[in-house]
Amino acid sequence: MNHFLLFGTIGAPEIIIIALIVLLLFGGKKIPELMKGIGKGVKSFKDGMKGVEEDIKQDNDNGSSLK
């Protein structure tokens, strides 16, 4: 089963190498824009999940059930 795992676990040195590659590919000026976009996406996803949880809770409070 372990033969499918090519690189093993990702540690600090690997993360640093990945960060340097990203820095070289996108440059210092583009990275803040990318992180801002990722942050907005994560916030939107969390807001959507809260909305789904509220809908489920509201459905359960109204007595409807999924059977």
| pLDDT value of residue 1 | 47
Stated pTM of the model: 0.52
| pLDDT value of residue 11 | 85
| pLDDT value of residue 43 | 94
Q: Does the residue 22 lie in any domain?
A: no
Q: Does the residue 50 lie in any domain?
A: yes
Is residue 26 a contact partner of residue 19, using CB atoms and an 8 Å limit? Answer: no
10-residue averages of pLDDT along the chain (67 residues) = 63 88 86 89 92 85 61
Q: Name the token pair of 55.
A: 């809908």
Q: Does the residue 55 lie in any domain?
A: yes
Q: Does the residue 16 lie in any domain?
A: no
Domain range enclosing 53: 29-61
Total number of domains constituting the chain: 1
